[in-house]
Structure 1
Amino acid sequence: MNMQEGKLTLAAKRTHSSRAASRLLAKTNRLRENALGYLFLAPSLLLFTVFLFYPLLKSVYLSFQLTDPRGRVAEYVGFDNYTQLFSSEMFWNSLTVTGLFTLYTVPVGIVLGIVTAALTHIKLPAMRIFQFMFAMPLALSVSTAAVIWMILFHPSLGMLNYILSTLGIAPIQWLTNPSTALLSISMMTIWMQSGFNYIIVLSGLQSIPDDMIESAKIDGAGPFRAFLQIVLPLLSPTLFFLAVISIIGSFQSFGQIHLLTKGGPAGSTEVFVYSIYKEAFINYQFGTGSALSLVLFAIILILTIIQFVFVEKKVYYQ
């Protein structure tokens, strides 16, 4: 009996030791896999740290500092930079200009993307040419587009004023008149973003099954009604994504303003990002510039959360 119990105890010990060895081997394999995964992620993590996390932490630090005319940290001022911003006319002007710029560009850009995508979604001969033409602005850089539109906006040699003169309308000072400068920049921005909007909406249209549209036509729905009641609801996830990206992009616009108007005339095109650039890299006030950038980050974050909380409820997911 004792011998049998000893054999059972020995077998139990061997089983326990084999299970412990298996657990140790599994744990070692998991650690090895995790280490390999982090090894592959290391270049990306390094780039994120250098170009994202460090600048973010540096901006938070500088937003509580006062800098001298050379941009060097002079003294700690706490929240004085933020209180100075919220009481300055420049801050509220740039916020108003950015809001108007977003209002001018985002809805028109999305509608233009829907129209152009719907027109070229029809399978007709030579439609590839129009698809290429509508997508072409995506291939142009901001500087190239700015040169093109600077020529178009020229008060005496530009094509736009030439067209107006043929219609008997007086020429417009597109970029030097405070009442038209922001509209002019918005026109250029809508054209610049039209290629991206077109491709995104067209990909959304191509993902909609043709059977659903054909069934609606068989039931007696016309093309316009089928588009409104079937295509647009199925396209709502794409449009929601496009709206979020477009609003974020409009709040971050800088290149076309810097190249065409430099925030003028009279601050009529001084959007938020240009105010950050001017405050930090022209006035060398890195403290207030960092505070402005963090306020911009908070505004974009709040707007994005609002869209996901309220607007996404109206999105139809299949």
Structure 2
Amino acid sequence: MLKTTTPEIEEIKTKTKKKHYSFSLNAKDKYYALLFLGPSLLILSVFVFYPMLKTLYISMFLTNTLGKTTVFNGFNNYTQLLSSPEYITSMISTLIYVLSVTVLTVSIGLLLANLASQKLAGIGVFRTLYSITMGVSVSVAAIFWLFIFNPSTGFFAIISNYLHLPVMNWLTDPKMAMWAVIITTVWMNLGFTFLILLGSISSVPTTLYEAASVEGASNRRQFFKITIPMISPTLFFVSTITLIDSFKSFGLIDLITKGGPTNSTNMLVYRIYKDAFYSGNYGQASSEAIILTIIIAFFTFLQFKFLEKRVNY
């Protein structure tokens, strides 16, 4: 039996020992790094970091109608908001709106993208129709849907009269107004969601579907066992972006309902706008902005904590 001597073992250890490389920037490299990063850091500092710090600062004060701080108020603005029934109602309405918009947008967008990925005659026309909302501005979309929701001459009113059904007051009934805003927002977001998901589904290897067909898997099973897992990173991305954008929805609410009726669609973002520019209460509006930022960060954290585990990279 051969025995390895101690010097041989030491030689093998020396040869196989991992080398550690140290990385350091010299003065010239640091200069170039700052040169390239400088413009971005400057823009972020002026338009992101400074407004955030300024908002946090103002939220600790009472202000006059011009937004100038007057009296230090500490956390009283926050405690007053969180104990206000109106603010809690706005928060609940916002959560209902955000969750509904996110689920409906991603679900319908996924369904349409899966249908549009089929190789059928004239499918390009449907792809164009599904994605056309990306070229529609918020103001045009609001005018379009205001005509549809009109209780006298709107599309839904005509259908209801034709079927001899009671006409729904979409914009005057609090519950229906919420659904009117949700439907409009989902319609606006579908174009982007559809295109992103269609591109992801188109990149799934066709060999997987061919192998599944040979095994006798139905289209429904292929959709849940192949399509969903393969595009899960894109689904995670789309759901996160849609959730964050829904929290920041403003234009459609301002043009369609203006937060009414009876504050049923007075979402947190629209409430910030009204408190700041209508009431001149900039301290309270700044506190609302900070709370909204925390809420968005919390829900984003939950998505990364629980949904990312189901993503297959």
1:110 Cα deviation after fit: 0.9
1:266 Cα deviation after fit: 0.2
Structure 2 counterpart of 1:131: 127
One-letter amino acid matched to 1:53: F
Match of 2:266 among 266, 270, 274: 270
Structure with the higher helix share, 1 or 2: 1
1:230 Cα deviation after fit: 1.3
1:205 Cα deviation after fit: 0.3
- Please say if 1:149 is aligned against 2:126: no
Match of 1:198 among 190, 194, 199: 194
One-letter amino acid matched to 1:119: L
Structure 2 counterpart of 1:55: 51
SS in 2 for 1:239: helix
Structure 2 counterpart of 1:233: 229
Structure 1 counterpart of 2:114: 118
For the residues of structure 2 that align with 1:34 and 1:165, how far apart are their CA atoms?
A: 72
SS in 1 for 2:280: coil
Residue 201 of structure 1 contacts residue 238 of structure 1 at CA under 8 Å; is this kept in 2? yes
Could you report, residue by residue, the CA deviation over 1:209-236 in whole angstroms, capped at 9, with x for unpaired residues?
A: 1111111011111211111111111122
SS in 1 for 2:231: helix
For the residues of structure 1 that align with 2:180 and 2:100, how far apart are their CA atoms?
A: 10
- Please say if 1:66 is aligned against 2:58: no
1:148 Cα deviation after fit: 0.8
Give the structure-1-normalised TM-score: 0.88
Residue 63 of structure 1 contacts residue 288 of structure 1 at CA under 8 Å; is this kept in 2? yes
One-letter amino acid matched to 1:252: K
Match of 2:294 among 263, 277, 298: 298
1:269 Cα deviation after fit: 0.3
One-letter amino acid matched to 2:111: V
Residue 193 of structure 2 contacts residue 238 of structure 2 at CA under 8 Å; is this kept in 1? yes
Who wins on radius of gyration, i.e. which is larger? 1
Structure 2: runs of 5+ lacking an equivalent: 1-22
1:289 Cα deviation after fit: 0.6
For the residues of structure 2 that align with 1:171 and 1:43, how far apart are their CA atoms?
A: 56
SS in 2 for 1:75: strand
Could you report, residue by residue, the CA deviation over 1:50-94 in whole angstroms, capped at 9, with x for unpaired residues?
A: 111110010010010101233321111111111111111221011
Cα RMSD (Å): 1.5
Match of 2:96 among 95, 100, 106: 100
One-letter amino acid matched to 2:70: A
Structure 2 counterpart of 1:7: none
Structure 2 counterpart of 1:88: 84
Could you report, residue by residue, the CA deviation over 1:173-204 in whole angstroms, capped at 9, with x for unpaired residues?
A: 11111120000010001100010110111111
Residue 67 of structure 1 contacts residue 75 of structure 1 at CA under 8 Å; is this kept in 2? yes
For the residues of structure 2 that align with 1:32 and 1:49, how far apart are their CA atoms?
A: 24
For the residues of structure 1 that align with 2:257 and 2:288, how far apart are their CA atoms?
A: 21
1:31 Cα deviation after fit: 2.7
Structure 2 counterpart of 1:41: 37
Residue 138 of structure 1 contacts residue 196 of structure 1 at CA under 8 Å; is this kept in 2? yes
SS in 1 for 2:62: strand
SS in 2 for 1:123: coil
One-letter amino acid matched to 1:34: K
Residue 104 of structure 1 contacts residue 183 of structure 1 at CA under 8 Å; is this kept in 2? no
Structure 1 counterpart of 2:155: 159
Give the structure-2-normalised TM-score: 0.89
- Please say if 1:243 is aligned against 2:245: no
For the residues of structure 2 that align with 1:276 and 1:256, how far apart are their CA atoms?
A: 15
For the residues of structure 2 that align with 1:215 and 1:74, how far apart are their CA atoms?
A: 71
- Please say if 1:169 is aligned against 2:165: yes
SS in 1 for 2:71: strand
What is the count of residue pairs matched by the alignment? 291
Residue 59 of structure 2 contacts residue 77 of structure 2 at CA under 8 Å; is this kept in 1? yes
One-letter amino acid matched to 1:207: S
Q: Map 1:13-28 onto structure 2 (within 5 A).
A: none
SS in 2 for 1:169: coil
